[in-house]
């Protein structure tokens, strides 16, 4: 296998050349455009995991040689992740978790909150950076424009008005719906000027752009960041909550049990220091090492090269989708300036329900996209202008078990290994669908809302069995 680089990336992506069956007959190479949900594994990550498995053992308290090797691997992974987000100067620590949802929840349930606490989030947050805070505080939302851009002046005024109540500003680095990149360091300046800490959800950002927790500008540092391995080519169940040590100083244990203590007697508990305080139980050593291997691979390829490649594809994707008759693109309508967004395009096709568009692309084109609300229902409902009786009726149907008219969109999202051929095939299939409709007849399932070709059955067991 050749040296890892952007030019050779495809041969380093596990399964990129898989042939999948088409309901119209035959097979074709799968075109995966759902990278915003989860990415495939990089071969160097898989290989490093396979190397580790031979040495896998209990960590930290084991006395055998394998335990020493596994402990070294786990703690070295922590150092790599800190370096990956520009936090390797000793002022930060990293807590390993299963995913970013768990990472945000661990922080949320371990923090101290002021009376009548408020957490400030953006309107575009994934449910994972919205729902955890509702348990402990009132949510307020950053003021944004119709295109999704943050109004920094209005944000400054809002933060100043919440003096004494604002527990945290928690914002995504980038939207998983529109690809909008948020000015997290400018928001950090506003937060810190008012004595407030900031969490940046970097799950969408990490595989596409560099994250710098310490950018070198006064007040622009990030107090906490969360990232996920499964979105950065390491789908082995690893994620991390990275934070300043002083920002963790008032935290209590998020989950109580093994590894979180220094001492336990029948009448006393002395809690462990960070990061052990938030790493209860036996950790996912394999997931941590996989994510660290992915981080090293991304740095080896170089974010300058990654960004250039993805910007070129994003412009091609945006221009192509925009040119399809009957398409509505959500978020910023500007297709000439993709610099402020990631390669994520969410859209609807007039006259064809979003689950049918996704089904036709899959069954007739061998293309994997996503449809629905992408775990950002409030934002998607807002983008779709669903309010009042219309929203009540649609959500009422959904809650009653009928998901045939569930609101949503179709989303195509790029990874580093996608190329012009992938984008061209997707655009050709989308344009053909817009012009001529589906090739096959489809039946919609009431309970799921999904469309399947009438009389066609997936033979998934023929491809993988357990």
Active site residues: 375
CB burial readout 385-418, b (16+ within 10 A) else e: ebeeeeeeebeeeeeeeebbebbbbbbbbbbbbb
Q: How far is CA 284 from CA 70, 241, 291, 381, in A?
A: 11, 14, 11, 36
Question: What backbone torsions phi and psi does residue 452 show, to the nearest 5 degrees?
Answer: -130, 145
Sign of CA dihedral 83, 181, 230, 44: negative
Where does residue 113 rank: exposed (0-12), middle (13-18), buried (19+ CB within 10 A)? middle
Q: How far apart are CA 346 and CA 177, in angstroms?
A: 6
| 172 contacts 124 by C-beta, under 8 angstroms | yes
For 81-132, give the DSSP string: HHHHTT--SSSEEEEEESSHHHHHHHHHHHS---TT-EEEE-TT--GGGTHH
C-alpha to C-alpha distance for 404 and 413, rounded to whole angstroms: 24
Hey, what are 199's tokens?
């969490």
Scored b (16 or more CB within 10 A) or e, 335-364 reads beebebbbbbbbbbbeebbbbbbbbbbbbb
Lookup result for tokens 């006395």? 63
Per-residue b or e along 259-270, where b marks 16 or more CB atoms closer than 10 Å to that residue's CB: bbbeeeeeeeee
CA atoms lying within 13 Å on the CB side of residue 142:
31
**Please, are residues 74 and 94 in contact by the beta-carbon 8 Å criterion?**
no
Reduced to 3 states (helix: H, G, I; strand: E, B; else coil), residue 345 is: strand
């Amino acid at each position: 296998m050749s040296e890892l680089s952007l030019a050779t990336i495809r041969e380093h992506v596990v399964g990129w050349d898989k042939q999948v069956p088409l309901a119209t007959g035959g097979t074709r190479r799968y075109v995966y455009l759902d990278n915003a949900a989860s990415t495939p594994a990089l071969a160097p990550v898989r290989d490093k995991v396979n190397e580790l498995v031979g040495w896998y053992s209990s960590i930290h308290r084991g006395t055998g040689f394998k335990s020493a090797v596994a402990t070294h691997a786990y703690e070295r992974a922590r150092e790599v992740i800190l370096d990956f987000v520009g936090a390797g100067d000793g002022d930060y620590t990293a807590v390993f978790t299963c995913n970013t949802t768990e990472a945000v929840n661990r922080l949320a349930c371990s923090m101290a909150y002021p009376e009548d606490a408020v957490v400030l989030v953006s309107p575009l947050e994934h449910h994972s950076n919205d729902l955890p805070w509702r348990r402990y505080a009132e949510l307020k939302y950053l003021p944004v424009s119709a295109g999704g851009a943050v109004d920094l002046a209005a944000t400054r005024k809002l933060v100043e008005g919440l003096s004494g109540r604002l527990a945290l500003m928690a914002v995504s680095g980038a939207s998983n719906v529109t690809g909008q990149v948020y000015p997290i360091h400018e928001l950090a300046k506003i937060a810190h000027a008012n004595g407030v800490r900031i969490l940046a959800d970097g799950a969408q950002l990490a595989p596409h752009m560099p994250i710098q927790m310490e950018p070198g500008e006064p007040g622009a540092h990030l107090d906490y960041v969360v990232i996920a391995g499964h979105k950065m080519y390491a789908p082995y169940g690893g994620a991390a909550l990275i934070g300043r040590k002083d920002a963790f100083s008032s935290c209590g244990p998020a989950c109580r049990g093994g590894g979180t203590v220094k001492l336990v007697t029948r009448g006393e508990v002395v809690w462990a220091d960070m990061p052990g305080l938030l790493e209860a139980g036996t950790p996912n050593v394999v997931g941590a090492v996989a994510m660290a291997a992915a981080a090293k691979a991304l740095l080896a390829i170089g974010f300058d090269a990654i960004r250039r490649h993805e910007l070129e594809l994003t412009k091609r994707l945006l221009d192509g989708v925009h040119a399809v008759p009957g398409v509505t693109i959500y978020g910023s309508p500007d297709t000439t300036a993709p610099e402020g967004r990631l390669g994520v395009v969410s859209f609807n096709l007039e006259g064809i329900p979003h689950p049918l568009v996704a089904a036709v692309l899959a069954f007739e084109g061998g293309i994997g996209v996503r449809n629905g609300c992408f775990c950002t229902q409030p934002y998607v409902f807002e983008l779709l202008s669903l309010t009042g009786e219309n929203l009540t009726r649609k959500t009422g149907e959904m809650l009653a078990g009928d998901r045939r008219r569930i609101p949503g969109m179709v989303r195509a999202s790029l990874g580093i290994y996608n190329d012009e051929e992938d984008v061209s095939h997707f655009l050709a299939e989308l344009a053909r669908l817009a012009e001529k409709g589906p090739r096959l007849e489809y039946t919609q399932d009431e309970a799921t809302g999904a469309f399947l070709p009438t009389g066609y059955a997936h033979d998934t067991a023929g491809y993988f069995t357990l």
